[in-house]
Amino acid sequence: MDAVTWRFYVEKLLKYEVDGPAVLLFDNFECHVSEEGQRVVAEVANATVVPLPANSTTACQPLDVGVMGPLKAKLRSNWSGITGGSAKEKRLRAVHATIAAWDAIPESTVIRSFKAAIPQYPEISI
């Protein structure tokens, strides 16, 4: 993703999902946390971007940990049929392959990922 794609996402999708004013926690991907990226989110979506601490996404994003790995593995195993043809045809096959890979991820995997990331009985030190 680059700054142009980020702006498109914020203007066409994100602004409709944010019931601003809001604070949004994002990973440290350059277009998310750059001065320009933060400005776009502030102006278009009426939200403030707060970057997550470095190297913390595995603890904060359960789908990143427990679901994206299996999803990427399924995509890799189905990737051979995506080559060849026009760019439009390849994109369509990639979309279909991604949908099929996502549909192959059991709901229990997603639930287990969230349960692992969010402790049911957190310990508090006093």
- Write the pLDDT tens digit of every residue in 92-122: 888 888 899 999 999 998 888 878 777 677 6
pTM of the model: 0.54
> Using one digit for the tens of pLDDT, what is the confidence trace for 55-66?
776 666 767 778
The contacts found for 25-33 with CB under 8 angstroms, 24 or more apart, are 25/50, 25/51, 25/52, 25/60, 26/50, 26/51, 26/52, 27/51, 27/52, 27/57, 27/61, 28/52, 28/54, 29/1, 31/1, 31/2, 31/3, 31/5, 31/6, 32/6
In this prediction, residue 44 has a pLDDT band, given cuts at 50, 70 and 90, of very high
> Using one digit for the tens of pLDDT, what is the confidence trace for 2-27?
888 999 999 999 999 998 799 988 88
Q: Where are the domains of the chain?
A: 3-57, 61-117
